[in-house]
Structure 1
Amino acid sequence: MAEKQSILNPEMKRKILAVMRILLLTAALVYLLIFISNNLFVDDQINVYFSTEDAQYLVAEQREIIEDDDLYFQIIAELNKGPESENLSATIPEEVELLEYDLDEDVLILNFNSALRENHWGGSTGELLTIYSIVNSYTALNEVQSVQILLEGQEVETLVGHLDLSRPLMYNQELVTDN
């Protein structure tokens, strides 16, 4: 027994092809609009982290960035300025400078002057908040997964004796609060 085949007439085929073309063009336009909006409207703000008043947690503050300036130097400059909120405390010792940096794949190597150690107020909590205010601020960038800290171009085991800096550090969510 022969199967019955339904044959679309040429007019019906043209209509189906026209609808398919419209759908394909619409999908392409939507994709293009999303792509353009993601790339044209680049976020011009960064998060930098400061200590809560009780020195237990870090809280992010948003800061405006200058598009033509080096982003990595802008982050440490914002950390050096300290918090804008009266409920937060600075985490970076005075006179700290970022001498240079290198992004090796997704590891950011930050080379600071010795003021990071010499001017630090000490204590295990103070060291933890200082280091992770730096690490969390930089790892908030998409291209940075971890941060290695150097002092005057040298690897260091610790800043002031409490936190292991011999390896790159990743974002620490446990220290962050919304406060």
Structure 2
Amino acid sequence: MKQIKTVLAVFLVLSVVLVAGCSSNTDNKEQAGQQNGQITANDQAKPEKAAPDKKAAKNIKMTVYFPDENGQKLIAAERTLDISTDDKYTAAIKALLQGPKKGEGIAIIPAGTKLLGVTVNKDGLAEVNFDNTFVKKFSGGSTGEIMLVGSITDTLTNFSEVKTVRFLVDGKPLETLSGHLDLTTPVTRMQNIL
């Protein structure tokens, strides 16, 4: 009989400890949720809101250039570039690919051209790499070639660190677009068409 009383006493003590522990754990959760102000109507803690996206939009303003309707000069067009996902050079060329708005001139980069990348080295050389649509679908003559090369070159040399531009197609240096301009050496800013 004494053993039964001892077993019952131990069982009673363990039950009290177990119930007290569970109650304490629930109280701790409620206190943590209340400190964060996150208790709902049924006293369940809500998950915390996700932290804001670290890739929040970062914008810069810059000038890009499109040829005028007569192919005599380039027209400056202001753009706000989103550089949260692309570097500023890539964003600038993508703005050219999107084309001009009304009154900003004409689109000169052949439709369907894909930008494969833009890099700028420590010497200020920008390399712009397009897919082969850039050459295959170009249909302009000497004036169109000057306007196209000038549009890209003058847009990129707006960045003070960019001094010259080299054109690549599918990763290989472009020698000429349609036989009128020598592109074997990097192109400097074409101030005469601005």
- TM-score, L = length of structure 1: 0.71
CA distance in 2, matches of 1:101, 1:84: 24
Change (3 A) 1:131 1:73: same
How many residues matched? Answer: 135
State the superposition RMSD in angstroms: 1.6
Whichever residue aligns with residue 158 of structure 2, its letter is A
Whichever residue aligns with residue 135 of structure 2, its letter is R
Q: Where does structure 2 lack aligned partners over 5 or more consecutive residues?
A: 1-57
Shift of 1:122: 2.3
Shift of 1:87: 5.3
CA distance in 2, matches of 1:87, 1:139: 19
Higher relative contact order (CA 8 A, sep 6+): 1
Measured against aligned partners, the alpha-carbon deviations of 1:99-137 in whole angstroms (never above 9, x if no partner) come to 122212210111111111111112000011011100000
| Higher mean C-alpha deviation, range 48-57 or range 99-108 | 99-108
1:138 aligns with 2:156: yes
CA distance in 1, matches of 2:91, 2:117: 12
Whichever residue aligns with residue 52 of structure 1, its letter is D
CA distance in 2, matches of 1:156, 1:68: 30
> Could you tell me which residue of structure 1 aligns to residue 172 of structure 2?
154
SS of the aligned residue for 1:65 comes to strand
1:128 aligns with 2:182: no
1:59 aligns with 2:79: no
Whichever residue aligns with residue 59 of structure 1, its letter is I
Whichever residue aligns with residue 94 of structure 1, its letter is A
5 Å-filtered alignment, 1:162-177, equals 162-176=180-194
> Could you tell me which residue of structure 1 aligns to residue 51 of structure 2?
none
- TM-score, L = length of structure 2: 0.66
Asked if the contact 1:112/1:152 (under 8 Å) is kept, the reply is yes
Whichever residue aligns with residue 156 of structure 1, its letter is L
Asked if the contact 1:50/1:83 (under 8 Å) is kept, the reply is yes
Asked if the contact 1:108/1:147 (under 8 Å) is kept, the reply is yes
Q: Where does structure 1 lack aligned partners over 5 or more consecutive residues?
A: 1-41
- Which has the greater radius of gyration? 2
Shift of 1:72: 2.0
> Could you tell me which residue of structure 1 aligns to residue 66 of structure 2?
50
Asked if the contact 1:53/1:87 (under 8 Å) is kept, the reply is no
Whichever residue aligns with residue 149 of structure 1, its letter is F
